[in-house]
Structure 1
Amino acid sequence: MSLKEDLSTSTKGISNLSDYLHSIQAIVDGLAFIDHHVDDLDLVIITLNDLEPSIHEFTTSLNTRDTPTI
């Protein structure tokens, strides 16, 4: 349960984008190891929600699409 909580509460903070994405991937890999796979769309939403305000317009457009982008 801790890994799911880590994923849902993960934040970029002052980390660079690469480190942030690597930390998300490590959590997802840990969940996959225990056979608890994360849906791709959920992963995109979780990952993009904490990025800089400069891409909020982009994330809003992804989240409101009728058809998935993945």
Structure 2
Amino acid sequence: MQLKEDLTLIQRGSRTVSEFLHAVKVIADELSLIDAPVSDDDLTLYVLNGLGSEFRDMVAPIRTRETTLSFAELHDLLIGHEHYIKRMDNNASALVVTANSSQRKSSNGRFKNNKS
């Protein structure tokens, strides 16, 4: 009973997707060992419920699929999305650095204000 509750309540939190999926898989494997296997559909729902808001763009299309995703397919999709999020964060950070650099140049007097 405790394992099923753990699986229902599991959250990714600050873990990487790989770490989160490993934790989910460990619980699912333990349930299988005691003759209470978790279906792929249920496992997918537990994972999707625990991902957090960063993955909301991925959750809706996966939930509406007519065919079941295997755990390996779900793993690959989520890892790919995690890499995409990191790239977007890095691009956003680069834009902030560029904007800050531009502001410093203008405050150094290189661009004069015509107000007297």
Tell me the TM-score normalised to structure 2 length.
0.54
Distance in 1, matches of 2:5 and 2:68, equals: 25
Q: Is this contact kept in 1: 2:24–2:47, CA < 8 A?
A: yes
The CA RMSD measured in Å over matched residues stands at 1.4
Identity among equivalent pairs (%)? 36
CA contact (8 A) 1:48 1:59 kept: yes
**Which structure's relative contact order is higher, taking Cα pairs within 8 Å and 6+ residues apart?**
1
- Kindly name which structure, 1 or 2, has the bigger radius of gyration based on alpha carbons: 2
CA–CA separation in structure 2 for the residues paired with 1:23 and 1:6: 10
Q: Following TM superposition, by how much is the alpha carbon of 1:16 offset from its aligned partner in structure 2, in angstroms?
A: 1.6
Gaps of 5+ in 2: 70-116
1:32 aligns with 2:35: no
Across the two proteins, how many residue pairs are aligned to each other? 69
What are structure 1's unaligned runs of at least 5 residues?
none
- The aligned amino acid for 2:21 is L
Query: How far has the Cα of 1:54 moved from its partner?
Result: 3.3
Contact 1:12 1:50 survives alignment (8 Å): yes
